[in-house]
């Protein structure tokens, strides 16, 4: 592994310190939700977007706001409804009668961290307005391009239970999310601690422990994390198996899959595994780093048919079978 890393020990120590400050600040407010905090941090370091799926009231907004406050970023929350228009998100041009000119009013999407609450309640037209923003980090208003901030992460939420008045996200929209995280209810002990912290008014206190430039530093370090060719081939083999599963997991399971992951799944696995390695204090990626959030990276990139739903087969089970069948380098 000659020249496996461009990251110096000083840079690695600085990265550890920044990550430690962010996570400590997060857990001063948040109870449990370890996986959520981990995934949000990964999304920020990778400068990617995350989709959170859970029933209402499980602190998704609180977690996003807590992390934003910790890094001194600009937070914006957009409540998605069926009548929400694209211009309500990205902005529009307004005619100024005083100057007889059109003025551009930028929408709430121009922030470092944008929470799209219940994204599946917005119409397909409004959802598609986010595609350019999420992929190209820019919007177009009146023929002019407006770049998003250097640090830009979309945190979208959706309720998996209540489907009345909702619009399913398209595969193209889902593929733009680096991660999809499923959040479950807290334990009784965790809920007890939540009530105690609410009594102490913990959630109203917000303070920045690092700056956005520190987050940008982490993003730069994540890009420099070494990824061996053997690990790259391992990632490719996993993603390729979602498209051609019969020879890997057998015909019976493969018949449940209607669509496998795109190349964006490979890129996401690479970026996420680098961020995981950095959080773990290493300047190189191991196979375990690839496996750490593999459900979150691939679950929304594998489409299953109705037979899978009827037989109780999940994307996570398919992913586990594939990972178990692919030889680890």
Residue 157, beta-bridge partner list: 52
Q: Is residue 24 part of a domain?
A: no
Question: 164 and 281 share a domain?
Answer: no
| Tens-digit pLDDT string for the chain (329 aa) | 344 558 889 999 999 999 999 999 988 888 877 888 889 999 999 999 999 988 877 888 888 888 899 999 999 999 988 888 888 998 888 888 888 888 888 889 999 999 999 888 888 888 888 877 888 888 888 888 888 999 999 999 988 776 666 777 778 788 889 999 998 888 899 899 989 988 888 877 678 899 999 999 999 999 999 999 999 999 999 999 999 998 889 888 899 999 999 999 999 999 999 999 999 999 999 999 999 999 999 999 999 999 998 999 999 999 999 999 999 98
In a domain, 200, yes or no: no
Q: Decide if 3 is inside a domain.
A: no
Domain extent for 153: 33-187
Q: What is the CA radius of gyration of the chain?
A: 21
Residues 251 and 137 both lie in one domain: no
Cβ atoms of residues 229 and 214 within 8 Å: no
**Do the domain assignments include residue 127?**
yes
Residues 246 and 158 in one domain: no
Identify whether 131 is part of a domain: yes
How far apart are alpha carbons 32 and 29 in whole angstroms? Answer: 10
Cα separation, 216 vs 211, whole angstroms: 9
CATH number at residue 94: 3.40.50.300
Q: Model's pTM, two decimal places?
A: 0.90
Cα separation of 124 and 166, whole Å?
10
pLDDT of residue 164: 63
* 253: Cα separation from own chain's centroid: 28
Give domain status of residue 196, yes or no: no
Span between the terminal Cα atoms of the chain, in Å: 14
Q: Per the structure, how many domains does the chain have? A: 2
Residue 162: predicted pLDDT:
63
pLDDT at 165: 61
Domain end: 136, 162, 187, which one? 187
Chain CA centroid to CA 188, Å: 27
Same domain, 240 and 176: no
**Last-in-domain residue among 135, 159, 187:** 187
Note the pLDDT of residue 300. 93
Question: If phi over 0 gives left and psi between -120 and 50 gives alpha, with beta otherwise, what is residue 139?
Answer: beta
Looking at the structure, tell me whether residues 57 and 139 fall in a common domain: yes
Contact 329, 234 (CB under 8 A): yes
Same-domain status, 240 and 293: yes
Coil, strand, or helix at residue 32?
coil
- Which of 171, 187, 203 lies at the terminal end of a domain, its last residue? 187
Here the tokens at position 306 are 């109705």
Asked if 53 and 158 sit in the same domain, the reply is: yes
Are 47 and 130 members of one domain? Answer: yes
Same domain, 182 and 230: no
Q: Based on the domain organization, do 166 and 292 belong to the same domain?
A: no
Is residue 17 situated within a structural domain?
no
**Number of residues written out for the chain:** 329
| CA–centroid distance for 325 within its chain | 27
Place of tokens 């691939």: 298
38 with 182, same domain: the answer is yes
Judgement on whether residues 170 and 258 belong to the same structural domain of the protein: no
Report if residue 192 sits inside a domain: no
Q: What's the CATH code of the domain at 292?
A: 1.10.8.80
């Amino acid at each position: 592994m000659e020249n496996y890393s461009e990251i110096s020990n000083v840079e690695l120590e600085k990265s550890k310190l920044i990550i430690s400050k962010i996570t400590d600040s997060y857990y001063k407010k948040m109870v449990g939700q370890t996986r959520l905090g981990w995934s949000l941090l990964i999304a920020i370091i990778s400068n990617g977007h995350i989709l959170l799926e859970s029933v209402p009231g499980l602190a998704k907004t609180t977690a996003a706001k807590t992390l934003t406050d910790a890094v001194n970023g600009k937070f914006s929350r957009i409540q998605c409804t069926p009548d929400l228009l694209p211009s309500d998100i990205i902005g529009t041009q307004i005619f100024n009668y005083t100057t007889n000119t059109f003025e551009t009013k930028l929408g709430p999407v121009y922030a470092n961290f944008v929470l799209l609450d219940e994204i599946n309640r917005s119409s397909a037209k409004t959802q598609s307005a986010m595609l350019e923003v999420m992929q190209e980090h820019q919007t177009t208003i009146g023929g002019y391009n407006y770049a998003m901030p250097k640090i830009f992460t979309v945190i979208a939420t959706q309720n998996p239970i209540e489907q009345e008045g909702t619009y399913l996200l398209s595969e193209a929209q889902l593929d733009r999310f680096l991660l999809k995280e499923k959040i479950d209810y807290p334990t009784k002990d965790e809920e007890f601690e939540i009530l105690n912290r609410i009594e102490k008014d913990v959630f109203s206190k917000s303070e920045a422990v690092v700056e956005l430039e520190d987050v940008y530093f982490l993003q730069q370090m994540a890009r420099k994390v070494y990824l061996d060719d053997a690990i790259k081939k391992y990632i490719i083999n996993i993603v390729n198996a979602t498209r051609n599963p019969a020879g890997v997991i057998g015909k019976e399971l493969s018949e449940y899959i209607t669509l496998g992951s795109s190349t964006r799944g490979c890129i996401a696995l690479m970026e996420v595994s680098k961020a995981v390695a950095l959080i773990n204090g290493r300047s190189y990626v191991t196979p375990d780093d690839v496996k750490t959030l593999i459900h979150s990276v691939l679950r929304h990139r594998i489409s299953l048919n109705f037979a899978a739903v009827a037989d109780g087969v999940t994307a996570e089970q398919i992913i586990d079978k594939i990972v178990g069948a692919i030889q680890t380098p």
